[in-house]
């Protein structure tokens, strides 16, 4: 590009540089870095030794951030390109799970206390909804990425204006062409010495949000596993505990929660780094970013691989779920019983008082004696409720307590999930292959 725009650069110099692209003397670079204490200049010196004819034009008009920041932007873009199909694979697997179990009633919980019924698939759709938000956030972060391009030491492009003898059009053309060759349609029109660390914050924020989603989902799975209603995959020879052979610990979900918490904490790190970049830049971002950006992507990748393994093998125990419903549904059905009695000619206030007394008695049996909920048996034995005894089975049908949950799941998958998955149609087959966790 420099030559195309008129700088005195020979074909021999370009050929020499091209021949050295994959021939890097890292030992020499390390030795130079020990001496000059500057990573980019160490490689400039190493390349100059390898390409003596091109040495005079290496790093011409550039600053270290031309190399480092532009490289980081390429890496961020490729990193998001790797993570997004993994996330799409999880969304695909979980949407099938939600659809398969959309009509299976189970206890809903508010305040971690039994509440109105939901369904297995409807609960999974809540996890899916969060994951779709993460897909949008990661996609937006990827699509918003631009290239720093050639901006010079403080972002003014002064050195390039000097090289091109004040020809602003050529400097702009150089900036555009370099961005294009790096695979970016757009570039940041204004920068300091670096691209704004707000860019890092936006990317890490999306990864951190993914961490929050995964932690919530896997915490739910751990709670459901403790109730024996749902389990993550558990292999035939897997050991849950070194001391307690019967244990089936949800170690995959626990691992996801552990990794997700680390992802969540990285948001504050990136925010603080951006906040203290004085004026055109300071160097206290460098060491931090080398850790934070790498850890963010590596942690997200490990988390998504583990979560994909979980979603590929979720196990549901309908009979346990039904037993738990049986323990709570009589209380939830009391209003329906009252309504049935009123329709049969009863007085609502009298019925309400009778149900209140019987409910408290049944509750005492459950809490104080550790026995099963016997409210319905008490209702059947009370002659007051004789007009609706034949209706009780219908009143206690769990499927009548789930509202539009099955329809909601179907509508959600059709209207929101499938359009997102359509973006990844070409890559899903590969990333949805069964994942085996070696440790």
The residues carrying an active-site annotation are 111, 241
Q: Are strands 230-231 and 105-110 parallel, antiparallel or unpaired?
A: unpaired
d(CA 211, CA 302): 11
Query: Cα separation of 219 and 94, whole Å?
Result: 16
Instruction: Give DSSP secondary structure letters for 250-313.
Output: -HHHHHHHHHHHHHHHHHHHHHHHHHT--TT--GGGHHHHHHHHHHHHHHHHHHHHHHHHHHTS
Tokens 């959309």 map to which residue?
102
Q: Is beta strand 113-119 parallel, antiparallel or unpaired with respect to 105-110? A: antiparallel
Q: What is the distance in angstroms between the CA of the first residue and the CA of the last residue of the chain? A: 49
β-bridge partners, 118: 106
For 253, residues 6+ apart whose C-beta sits below 8 A from its C-beta are: 218, 219, 221, 222, 225, 232, 310
CA 147 – CA 180 distance, rounded (Å): 9
What are the φ and ψ backbone dihedral angles of 364, each rounded to 5 degrees?
Answer: -65, -40
Distances (CA, A) of 11 to 3, 17, 54: 9, 10, 10
Within a 10 A sphere around the Cβ of 386, how many other Cβ atoms? 10
Total residue length of the chain? 439
């Amino acid at each position: 590009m420099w030559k195309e725009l008129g700088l005195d650069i020979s074909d021999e110099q370009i050929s020499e540089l091209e021949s050295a692209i994959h021939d890097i003397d890292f030992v020499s670079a390390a030795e130079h870095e020990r001496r000059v204490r500057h990573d980019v200049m160490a490689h400039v010196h190493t390349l100059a030794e390898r390409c003596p004819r091109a040495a005079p034009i290496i790093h011409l008009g550039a600053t270290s951030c031309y190399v480092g920041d532009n490289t980081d932007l390429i890496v961020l873009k490729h990193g998001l390109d790797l993570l997004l199909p993994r996330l799409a694979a999880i969304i695909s697997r979980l949407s099938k799970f939600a659809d398969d179990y959309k009509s299976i009633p189970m206890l809903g919980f508010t305040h971690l206390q039994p509440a109105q019924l939901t369904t297995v698939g409807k609960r999974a759709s809540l996890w899916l909804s969060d994951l779709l938000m993460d897909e949008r956030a990661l996609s937006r972060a990827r699509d918003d990425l631009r290239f720093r391009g050639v901006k010079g030491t403080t972002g003014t492009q002064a050195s390039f204006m000097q090289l091109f003898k004040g020809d602003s059009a050529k400097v702009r053309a150089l900036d555009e062409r370099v961005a294009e060759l790096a695979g970016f349609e757009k570039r940041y029109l204004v920068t300091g010495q670096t691209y704004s660390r707000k860019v890092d914050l936006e990317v890490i924020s999306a990864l951190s949000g993914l961490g929050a989603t995964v932690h919530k989902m896997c915490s739910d799975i751990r709670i459901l596993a403790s109730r024996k209603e749902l389990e993550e995959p558990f292999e035939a020879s897997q050991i849950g505990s070194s001391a307690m052979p019967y244990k089936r610990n949800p170690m995959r979900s626990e691992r996801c929660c552990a990794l997700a918490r680390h992802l969540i904490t990285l948001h504050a790190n990136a925010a603080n780094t951006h906040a203290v970049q004085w004026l055109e830049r300071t160097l206290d971002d460098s060491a931090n970013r080398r850790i934070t950006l790498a850890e963010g992507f590596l942690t997200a990748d490990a988390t998504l691989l583990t979560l994909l393994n979980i979603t590929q093998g979720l196990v549901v125990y309908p009979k346990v779920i039904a037993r738990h419903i049986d323990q709570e549904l009589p209380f939830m059905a009391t209003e329906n019983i009252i309504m049935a009695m009123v329709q049969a000619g009863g007085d609502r206030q009298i019925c309400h008082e009778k149900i209140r007394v019987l409910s408290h008695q049944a509750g005492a049996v459950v809490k104080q004696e550790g026995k099963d909920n016997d409210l319905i048996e008490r209702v059947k034995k009370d002659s007051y409720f004789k007009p609706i005894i034949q209706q009780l089975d219908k009143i206690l049908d769990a499927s009548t307590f789930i509202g539009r949950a099955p329809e909601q799941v179907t509508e959600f998958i059709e209207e929101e999930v499938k359009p997102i998955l359509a973006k990844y149609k070409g890559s899903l087959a590969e990333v949805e292959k069964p994942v085996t966790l070696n440790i």
